[in-house]
Amino acid sequence: MSDGPTVRRRRLGAELRRLREAHARKLDEVAGELGLVASTLSRIETGKAPIKTYYLNKLLDMFEVTDPGARQVLVDMGREGHRKGWWADYDDVLPSGFDIYVGLEAEAKGLRSYESVLIHGLLQTQGYATAVLRELHPRDSDEQVLKMVELRMQRQRILDNVPPIEVWLILDEGAIRRGVGGAASMRQQLEHLAEASRWPNVTLQVLGFESGAHAGMDGPFSILEFPERTDRDVACIDGSFGMVYLEKDREVRACTEAFDRLRATALSPLASMQLIERVAEELDE
């Protein structure tokens, strides 16, 4: 899988920040010289926004990058960062900032995620996703909801990549017991979960009600890791006002430790699959 625009922007941003810090320059000072606001330069350095070639060349001059080969690599990286991913076709229905997550997810080699209320989007069936999105977006038209469902189904293609993304999901028991979309739709969703738990690239655990207080009580979160060791892991927290991205080592480490504690507390993958199958059978009673 070739590197996509999101990873390219992150790499370029990290290098620009390294160069700025090596020259002991402050972010707002450099942004002022470029004629940009500090928040814009910050988004560039964190890979959340692309940079125009004009501004990139000014930065490279400012940071005394004179080697033609080194400059060309960074300029090419900047141009690649402007390339649109497949999710650009869904810009009109993407929640603000969620395009960054979709881009990271599309280019990740591994995903660890805890979900407290919902089945994770990568394993949602179309019926379940439709019921969820209709409830979350009551003012949207049927056409808009269906387009959001289509986006969710498109995201699932990464499970079929070669090599596929390695996924480790922990679902709170409430997520598998909450009836979404009616009994028939929920049964289909649970059967799909049970099937997915047998896939070689998917590990699925259920955090049972009996676990009591646990490390995920702050809410759902995900950790994405990437093929290149130089691309740092990203922790993502989906809140009421959009996605929050954590990239500092201590922040990502805290999420990783919380996930490991959840993994140790949750039912084993086999016991989780058996519970999911029992809950599905109960829907026929």
How confident is the model over 20-53, as pLDDT tens digits? Answer: 999 999 999 999 999 999 999 999 998 888 999 9
Q: What is the CATH number of the domain that holds 53?
A: 1.10.260.40
Nearest to 132 by CA among 119, 113, 123, 115: 119
For the chain, give the number of residues: 285
Nearest to 275 by CA among 216, 210, 208: 208
- Reported pTM: 0.83
Q: What is the CATH number of the domain that holds 222?
A: 3.30.870
Q: How confident is the model at residue 95 (pLDDT cuts 50, 70, 90)?
A: confident
Tell me the per-residue pLDDT of 108-121, one tens digit each, with 9 for 90 and over: 999 999 999 999 99
Q: Are residues 101 and 68 in the same domain?
A: no
Q: What is the pLDDT of residue 7?
A: 82
- 180 touches 186 (CB < 8 A): yes
Q: How many CB atoms lie within 10 A of CB 110?
A: 15
Looking at the chain, the whole-number percentage of residues with pLDDT higher than 90 is 74
The residue assigned the tokens 């930065």 is 59
Q: What is the mean pLDDT of residues 10-16?
A: 88
Domain end residue (candidates: 34, 50, 81): 81
Q: How confident is the model at residue 157 (pLDDT cuts 50, 70, 90)?
A: very high
Q: What is the mean pLDDT of residues 265-271?
A: 97
Residue 241: pLDDT over 70: no
Least confident of 56-70, 142-156, 252-266, 269-283: 56-70
Nearest to 223 by CA among 112, 59, 85, 119: 112
What is the spatial distance between Cα 136 and Cα 134, in angstroms, rounded to a whole number? 6
Q: What is the pLDDT of residue 1?
A: 43
The domain in which residue 47 lies consists of 5-81
Task: Tell me the sheet residues that pair with 56.
Answer: none
Please give the residue that has the higher pLDDT: either 7 or 150.
150
CA 208: distance to chain centroid? 25
Q: Report which DSSP code applies to 160.
A: G
Strands (E), 134-253: 166-172, 202-207, 221-225, 234-239, 242-246
Q: Are residues 146 and 262 in the same domain?
A: yes
Q: Are residues 164 and 277 in the same domain?
A: yes
**C-alpha to C-alpha distances, 245 to 66, 180, 205, 233, nearest whole angstrom:** 33, 28, 24, 10
Q: Report which DSSP code applies to 140.
A: S
**What's the half-sphere exposure (Cβ side, CA atoms, 13 Å) at 248?**
4
Q: Are residues 185 and 247 in the same domain?
A: yes
**How high does pLDDT run on average in the chain?**
92
Exposure pattern of 201-235 as b/e (b: 16+ CB <10 Å)? bbbbbbbbeebeebbbeeebbbbbbbeeeebebbb
Domain end residue (candidates: 50, 81, 112): 81
Q: Are residues 140 and 14 in the same domain?
A: no
Q: Are residues 90 and 73 in the same domain?
A: no
Q: What is the pLDDT of residue 125?
A: 98
Domain end residue (candidates: 53, 81, 109): 81
Q: What is the mean pLDDT of residues 183-189?
A: 96
Residue 285: pLDDT over 80: no
Number of structural domains the chain divides into: 2
Secondary structure (H, E, C), 47-116: CCCCCCHHHHHHHHHHCCCCCHHHHHHHHHHHHHHCCCCHHHHHCCCCCCCHHHHHHHHHHCCEEEEEEC
Q: Report which DSSP code applies to 120.
A: -
Q: How confident is the model at residue 3 (pLDDT cuts 50, 70, 90)?
A: low
